[in-house]
Structure 1
Amino acid sequence: MTDSKASDEKNYRHSALQAIRIERQAIEALEGRINEDFTTACDVIMACKGRVVVTGMGKSGHIGNKIAATLASTGTPSFFVHPGEASHGDLGMITPQDVVIAISNSGNTAEVVTILPLIKRMGAPLISMTGNRDSSLAREAVANLDVGVDIEACPLGLAPTSSTTATLVMGDALAVALLEARGFSTEDFAFSHPGGSLGRRLLLKVSDIMHTGDRIPSVPDDVTLSAALLEISRKGLGMTTVLDAKGELTGIFTDGDLRRSLDRSVDVHNTPISDVMTRNGKTIRADHLAAEALQIMEELKINALPVTDDKGQLVGAINMHDLLRAGVI
C-alpha cells in the first residue's frame, strides 16, 4: 500500500468517525428536551379525530415523509404533504380534525410559513419541530419540539446532517410514545404490514397452511412399519401420525424414527409401527402462529408436526416445506 493511499484511508476513517461522534452528541442532547412540549404534542395527537399531517421542505421534507410513515405504521394515521404543493391545492387535504406537524430547522422556511395562517384559520392544531425556538414556526405552534444542534456533521456546516438525524430521532420518540399510549400490539402492527415476510410471520396461523382431511398422513397403530412407510411416501410430508382404534393420536413416525429403526436392523415388514413410533411427541394447535411451529421445529430439530384441537384430536399436519412455501422462513 502506498503512503498516499494509506493517508487517504486514515482521512476517510477520521472524517467518518467525526461525523458519527457529532451526530451521537446531537441525539444525546434530545434527552433533555423530552419536556412539557413533548407531552403536549402527544396529548394533542392522542385527541386527534382526523389524521396527522406532516409537512416540511427539502431535507426536512424527506425526514417528514419517514416520520409520517412511521406514525402510520404504528397506530397513528398519518400522511405527508409537500408545503409547496399545499399552496397550490394540496392544502385541501388538511381538515380541522387533523393535527399538523411542520418541520423546519430554521423555523422560518418560506414555503412552510406561507401556509401557517391557513392552517391556523381552519383550526387544525400545529406542532412544530424546529432548531430555533424563537422562530415564527415555533411561536405559532401549540407545542414546539426542539431539534436544534450545535453543529452539523458536515464540516462546511451547510449540508443538513446532525440536524436531520436529531429530527428523525425525535420523530421516532414521538411515534413510540404514542404507540405505547395506544396499547398498539404486535398483531396491530402486523395488520399494517400484511405484505412481505413480516406480515406473514405475525399473522399467518397454522390453520392457514396445514394439511387437512385425506391429506393428513395417518395409519392405525396395529399396522406394520412397511405400511407406515407407504403412507409417508403417498402423503409426502416426511412423517405419518399413528392413531388408535378410537382415532386418537398415539404417536408419530418420522424420517428420523426410520433412520433409528434401520440402525437397529428392524424388520420393516413384520415390526408393528407402535414398536418404533415416537409416543407423546410434540404437537401444535391450529390457532397458533405458523411462526411458533417454525420455532418448535428448529428447537427440537424436527421437520414436521401433527396439529391438534383443544381436545387433543388430530386435525392436521404441517412440515418445514409448508412454512417455506408460505414465506414464514
Structure 2
Amino acid sequence: MTRSALRSASIPVAPAGVDSAALIEGRRVLRMEAEAIEALAESLDQAFVDVIERLASVQGRVVVTGMGKSGHIGRKIAATLASTGTPAMFVHPAEASHGDLGMIAAQDAVLALSNSGETPELADLVAYTRRFNILLVAITRVPESTLGKAADLVLRLPDRPEACALGLAPTTSTTATLALGDALAVALLQERGFTPADFRIFHPGGKLGSRLIRVEQLMHQGSDLPIVRPDAKVADALMVISAKRLGCTGVVDDAGRLVGVVTDGDIRRRMTPDIFGMPVEAIMTTDPRQVGPGTLAAEALAVMNGSERPFTALFVVDAGRPVGVVHVHDCLRAGVA
C-alpha cells in the first residue's frame, strides 16, 4: 500500500447520511449566533432611536474604540459608518492613553465597545470624554458596568453564551456587536438622506463603483451626437449613422426636441429600391425609449436589454432635447453589467 493510501486509510470517514462532528459543531455555532442576533433585534428600543438622533447631530466624527476582538469589530464598524455618510474613525484605547486622545475633539462622539463593560484599557478614554463633555455611547452586555454607568447612552447586547465550546472565546458577543454596528450605520444612512450619488463618491472603485456610474459620465455628446431632421433623406441619415458609429441617429424637430430614432436595422428591415430617397420620418421609431443624464448606467443597460427586441444605444434627453447617446459597449467597458 502506498503512503498516500495509508494516510487516507487512517482518516475516519463518516458513514453516508451521517453528519460529521465538525459539521454538527459548525451548525451549532451559526445557530447560536443567529439566535443572538434575533434576540438583539427584538430587544431594540427607544435607546437605539436616541443614539441615532444624537449621532446624526454630531458635528465631528464618530470615534469607535474597543480592545481585543471588540477592537477588530470596531474597526469594521468605523469603516462602515464612514462609507455610508457618517464621518468615523477607529482609535485604539491603549494608544489613546499614549497621545492618541488628541485625535478626539470636543465636537466628536465616542462609540465604545466592551462586552463586559469592564475593559481596563478604556478607562483613560472614558475619563477623557467625561472631562471634556464628549458624547459617549456604550455597546455592552452589562449596562450596570463601569462603562455602562459612565456612558451618556447605552445599547445593550443580548445576554447569550459565547458559541465557543469553552464559553470563553468572543464569538456570539462579537457577532452581535458587528450586527448592531451595521444597524447603526444603515439607520444613520437613512436619517441623513444618503443617496446613491453620495455612495458613489465614497465607493469609486471596484464593482460597486461601476454600478453607480451615471450615463452622463459615459455618453457621447457634442459633435459626436448623431442628429438629423425629420425631412432628411434616409440616405443622409445613413451617412450620419456611419460617421458617428453608434448604430443610430436621433431625429429632432424645429425646437430641437427628440421626436424619433432611426437605426441601421430600421433601414435594413425596410430595404426597397426607393428607401434612400424617403424622408426619415417615414421609417423612424416615434416616442423612442430615453433616459435622463442622471440615470444610473446600470438602469440604462436594463432599459436597452429589457424590451422584446434589445437595442444597443439609448438617447440621453434633458428637457426633451437630446444631449447624448449611451451605447451598450460604453456600459460594458465601464464594468456595468
Q: If the TM-score is normalised by the length of the shorter chain, which range does it land in?
A: 0.7 to 0.9
Secondary structure (helix, strand or coil) at the match of 2:329 reads: helix
| Residue equivalent to 2:243 | 234
- The one-character-per-residue Cα deviations of 1:236-290 (angstroms, maximum 9, x if unpaired) are 112122356776544222244245336xx66665555444332322223334443
- Cα pair 1:33 1:145 within 8 Å, conserved: no
| Residue equivalent to 2:4 | none
The residue identity in structure 2 corresponding to 1:211 is H
Structure 1: state its 5+ residue gaps. Answer: none
Structure 2: state its 5+ residue gaps. Answer: 1-7
2:304 paired with 1:297: yes
| Residue equivalent to 2:138 | 128
| Residue equivalent to 1:253 | 262
Cα distance change on mapping 1:170 and 1:205 into 2, 3 Å: closer
Alignment of 1:126-275 (within 5 A): 126-202=136-212, 204-222=213-231, 225-243=234-252, 249-261=258-270, 269=276, 273-275=280-282
- The one-character-per-residue Cα deviations of 1:98-144 (angstroms, maximum 9, x if unpaired) are 21111111222221234322332222122111123332212211222
2:29 paired with 1:19: yes
2:316 paired with 1:277: no
2-side partners of 1:156 and 1:32: how far apart? 27
The residue identity in structure 1 corresponding to 2:286 is R
Cα distance change on mapping 1:284 and 1:37 into 2, 3 Å: closer
| Residue equivalent to 2:76 | 66
Alignment of 1:73-88 (within 5 A): 73-88=83-98
Shift of 1:221: 4.2
TM-score of the superposed pair, with normalisation by structure 1: 0.85
- Identical positions, percent: 48
Moved more, 46-55 or 77-86: 46-55
Secondary structure (helix, strand or coil) at the match of 1:133 reads: coil
- The one-character-per-residue Cα deviations of 1:31-66 (angstroms, maximum 9, x if unpaired) are 343234334433432342322111011110111111
1-side partners of 2:295 and 2:277: how far apart? 38
- Cα pair 1:113 1:136 within 8 Å, conserved: no
TM-score of the superposed pair, with normalisation by structure 2: 0.83
Over the aligned positions, Cα root-mean-square deviation in angstroms equals 2.9
1-side partners of 2:46 and 2:222: how far apart? 61
- Cα pair 1:284 1:306 within 8 Å, conserved: yes
* Alignment size in residue pairs: 325
| Residue equivalent to 1:315 | 323
